[in-house]
Amino acid sequence: MSLGNWRIIYTLLCAVLVLIILSPTLGSFFGLPQGEKFSQLWILGENHIAENYSSNVTPNKDYAIYVGIGNHMGHSSYYVLYVKLGVQGEIFPNTTAGTPSPLSPLYEYRSIIENGESWETSMRFSFSNIAASGDQLLVQTIRINDVAFNVDKLASWEANNDGYYFNLFFELWFYNIDSHIFQFHNRFVELRLNITSKL
């Protein structure tokens, strides 16, 4: 091999070494591509696992679940998690259209979560002041973490599913730093609850 070829190889090796050493700095200037940006939202059952959720609930009895948020947005994010209660015939979140439910939130959680981190909390709930009449069931009160809310939700008997069903659902919103408002993050999870036991 001639001296000229050795110089070319030596120059190329030096250039590669310089690029490797400077890659973190160059990445900050050129904005190297990142992975998909998203947030997670989950509900876990009373045993802190993704199964054995309480679906048949008894009035005046406390139930416990865990709700959590994971941030993979590439930056810290300010989240609001709204807790809502609905019945058949009401409007629920639509992830295809990207629209939240117009139902008023009963309870909310707020958290600032760093990128790559998660937040989780336990939540207790119970239903009371319940009355059945014909094929309808009226729930007047839901208690969330020891705070009582008047809801006056009326559910009709669902013969196909053998029960009166209520949907306890959680909508994820985040603070948009560009528009300076909270907006629906197109994520929600729900528990479909049958309140028929021991009426």
| Mean pLDDT along residues 72-84 | 97
- Give the chain's domain count: 2
Same domain, 12 and 56: no
Q: What is the pTM of this model?
A: 0.81
pLDDT band at 54 (very low <50, low <70, confident <90, very high): confident
Same domain, 75 and 139: yes
HEC assignment per residue over 8-75:
HHHHHHHHHHHHHHHHHHHHHHHCCCCCCCEEEEEEECCCCCCCCCCCECCCCCCEEEEEEEEEECCC
Residue 112 lies in a domain: yes
Same domain, 56 and 43: yes
Classify burial at 93, counting beta carbons within 10 Å of its beta carbon; exposed 0-12, middle 13-18, buried 19 or more: buried
17 or 147, which is more confident: 147
Same domain, 29 and 43: no
Distances from the Cα of 85 to the Cα of 27, 52, 159, angstroms: 46, 20, 21
Q: Does the pLDDT value for residue 188 go beyond 50?
A: yes
Residue 199 lies in a domain: no
**How high is the pLDDT of residue 12?**
60
pLDDT band at 16 (very low <50, low <70, confident <90, very high): low
**How high is the pLDDT of residue 46?**
87
CATH of the domain at 91: 2.60.40.3880
- Size of the chain in residues: 199
Same domain, 55 and 94: yes
Q: In terms of Cα–Cα distance, which of 199, 67, 64 is closest to 139?
A: 199
Residue 93 lies in a domain: yes
Say how many CA atoms lie within 13 Å of 127 toward its Cβ: 28
Same domain, 19 and 70: no
With contact defined as beta carbons under 8 Å apart, do 78 and 109 qualify? no
With contact defined as beta carbons under 8 Å apart, do 115 and 74 qualify? yes
Q: How far is CA 164 from the centre of its chain?
A: 25
Same domain, 21 and 49: no
**How high is the pLDDT of residue 32?**
46
- Name the residue range of residue 68's domain: 38-194
Residues 88-121 have pLDDT tens digits of 999 999 999 999 999 999 999 999 999 999 999 9
**How high is the pLDDT of residue 94?**
95
Q: Does the pLDDT value for residue 15 go beyond 70?
A: no
Mean pLDDT score of the chain, rounded to an integer?
A: 88
Residue 24 lies in a domain: yes
Residue 149 lies in a domain: yes
Classify burial at 84, counting beta carbons within 10 Å of its beta carbon; exposed 0-12, middle 13-18, buried 19 or more: buried
Residues 132-186 have pLDDT tens digits of 999 999 999 999 999 999 999 999 999 998 999 999 999 999 999 999 999 999 9
In the chain, the N- to C-terminal Cα span, in Å, equals 93
Same domain, 109 and 172: yes
| Mean pLDDT along residues 183-194 | 96
Same domain, 16 and 64: no
Same domain, 139 and 66: yes
